[in-house]
Amino acid sequence: MQEINIKKEFKDLIPPLADHEIAGLEEDIKHFGCYCPIITWNGYIIDGHHRYEICSRHRLTFKTEEREFNTQNDAEIWIIQNQFNRRNIPLFTRGFLVFELEKRFNRRHGNRHTCKEIPRARRNRREVDRNREDEARTKAAKSAGMGHDSYAKCKFIDKHATEEDKEKLHKNETSTNQVYNRIKTEQVRTETISNLESIENQKAKAIEGVYDVVVIDPPWEIGQRNSTAGYKPLPYPTMSIDEIKDLELQCDDDCHVFLWTTQKFLPIAFDIVDHWGLEYVCTFTWFKNGGPQPLDLPAYNTEFFIYARQGKPKFIDTKKFNTALIADKGKHSEKPEEFYEMLRRVTAGRRIDMFNRRSIEGFDTWGNESESLNQTTQGGLQ
C-alpha cells in the first residue's frame, strides 16, 4: 500500500461529499477500481481525499500523480479552482471557496502594483490596496462563475449568519436567499425599532405632536342616512364627508395610516385618502360574527380599514400579517382588540387612535368618547 500524506490545510479547502455521494463513489470504486489518480504535491494529497480513504479502507490499489507548484499558496489556489468543476455545490459553499481563493490571490499579488498609469511616487497606498483587492475579488468570482449579486449575498451571510445557518447552507438544507432575506429583515426591524422607540425620537415627536402610526375611525353619517336599512340613529355627533376631509392628521414624515370605513363609505374613503395626500397601499377586511342586514341585501358582517402611508414607513414584522382579520364584534363602532394586537406587533413608534371609544394600550387617544381624552395611554409620551 502506497503511503501518502494528508495536510489539514488542504483537506479543509475541499467541501465534503454528501452521504449518498460517498456511498455512490464507494460502490463505483469497489466495482471498477480507482481509475482516477490521486493528485499530490510534495507527497500531500491535493485532490482525491475521498478516493484515498475508500481505497485505504478496502485495501485497493490506486495511482498517484505529482503536481509541481512554487508555493503552498499556489497549490491551494489549484485545489480551490479544481472544486469549481464539481456539480451541485451549494451556492454558499461556492461563495466560501471564492472568499478563500480571493485571499490567496491577494497573497500571490501582494507585491504587485495596479494602477500602472499612476507614477509610483504619487500612488496612494490605500488606493493600491483597494484596487488589488478588487482585482482579486473579480478574478476569484470569475473562476467560480459567480455573479456580483450572488457574491454580495454570500459575503453578507458569511459576516452576519450564525454557524448553525452556515452549516445548513453547506449541507444544502436551506437556501442562500432564505437566510439572506431573514437576516436583512431582522436588521431592518432592529434598526427601525431602535430609531422609532428611542427616547430622544419620542420626545421630539411629542413636542411636534406627530405620530408614526395613525388609526382613524371617523364618525361617518351612517345612522341618519340609513335608518331604514337596519341602522339606528347614532348616539354621538357625526361628521360630513367634507368635515372628514378637512381633518389634519398628525403624521410624521414617515407614517402608517389606517382609515376605518364601512360598505357604504368604502368608495368615498379612497377619495379621502387621496385628499389627505397619502399613498394608498391595500385594504384590510374585518370578518365579524354578524352585522346589520339591509332589506333584500346580504348581511353586512364585514368592515374595512384602508392602509395608506405618508413617506416610507416600515413594518417591523410581516409574518402572519394578513389583509383578512377574523374577530368577534364588540360594542357599536368598537374596533376589535385583535386589530390593536396586530398593530403593536407590526409597527413601532408613537401611535394615536383618533375617534376611539376606549383607552388602548400603546396608543394615544383622541375622541369625545375616549376614557382618556387627549391623554397618553400606556406606551406613549405626553
Residue pLDDT, tens place only, 309-335: 999 999 999 889 999 999 988 776 688
What are the cell numbers at 189? 426591524
Q: Fill in the DSSP letter of residue 37.
A: P
* 146/124 same-domain check: yes
* Better pLDDT: 226 or 202: 202
End-to-end CA, the chain: 83
Closest alpha carbon to 52 in 97, 7, 101, 96: 7
Residue 293 counted as domain residue: yes
* 216/331 same-domain check: yes
What are the cell numbers at 263? 360598505
Tell me the β-bridge partners of 282: 307
Task: Name the residue range of residue 261's domain.
Answer: 199-366
Residue 381 counted as domain residue: no
Amino acid at the residue 60: L
Residue 380 counted as domain residue: no
| Angle, CA 48 vertex, CA 44 and CA 50 arms, to 5° | 115
CATH assignment at residue 257: 3.40.50.150
Mean pLDDT, range 243-271, rounded to an integer: 95
Q: Over 70: is that where the pLDDT of 119 sits?
A: no
* 111/133 same-domain check: yes
Residue 194 counted as domain residue: no
* 257/356 same-domain check: yes
Domain total of the chain: 2
The 10s digit of each residue's pLDDT in 74-95 is 999 999 999 988 878 899 999 9
- 3-state DSSP of 229-276: HCCCCCCCCCCCHHHHHCCCCCEEEEEEEEEEECCCCHHHHHHHHHHC
Q: Over 80: is that where the pLDDT of 214 sits?
A: yes
Q: Give pLDDT, residue 75.
A: 95
Torsion angles phi and psi, residue 45, rounded to 5: -70, 130
* 214/162 same-domain check: no
What are the cell numbers at 96? 466560501
* Better pLDDT: 275 or 294: 275
Mean pLDDT, range 139-158, rounded to an integer: 90
Q: Give pLDDT, residue 122.
A: 52
Q: Give pLDDT, residue 371.
A: 47
* 68/161 same-domain check: yes
Q: Give pLDDT, residue 135.
A: 81
Rounded to whole angstroms, the Cα distance separating 379 from 382 reads 10
Closest alpha carbon to 308 in 259, 247, 366, 341: 259
* 155/297 same-domain check: no
Q: Give pLDDT, residue 379.
A: 37
Q: Give pLDDT, residue 368.
A: 53
* 332/362 same-domain check: yes
Mean pLDDT, range 196-216, rounded to an integer: 89
* 204/109 same-domain check: no
Check if the beta carbon of residue 259 is closer than 8 Å to that of residue 281.
no
Residue 373 counted as domain residue: no
Residue 245 counted as domain residue: yes
Mean pLDDT, range 104-127, rounded to an integer: 62
Closest alpha carbon to 213 in 378, 348, 372, 322: 348
Domain final position from 151, 186, 221: 186
Q: What are the C-alpha distances in Å from 279 to residues 198, 315, 354?
A: 26, 15, 19
* 160/214 same-domain check: no
Q: Over 60: is that where the pLDDT of 347 sits?
A: yes
* Better pLDDT: 117 or 222: 222
Share of the chain above pLDDT 70, in %: 85
Label residue 311 left, alpha or beta by phi (over 0 means left) and psi (-120 to 50 means alpha).
left
Rounded to whole angstroms, the Cα distance separating 327 from 313 reads 26
* 97/217 same-domain check: no
Closest alpha carbon to 282 in 229, 318, 249: 318
Q: Give pLDDT, residue 233.
A: 55
Average pLDDT, the chain: 85
The 10s digit of each residue's pLDDT in 162-197 is 999 999 999 889 999 999 999 998 998 898 888 888
* 287/209 same-domain check: yes
Q: Which residue has the cell 480551490?
A: 80
The 10s digit of each residue's pLDDT in 20-59 is 889 999 999 999 999 899 999 999 999 999 999 999 999 9
Residue 359 counted as domain residue: yes
Closest alpha carbon to 118 in 109, 128, 126, 110: 128
Q: Over 80: is that where the pLDDT of 222 sits?
A: no
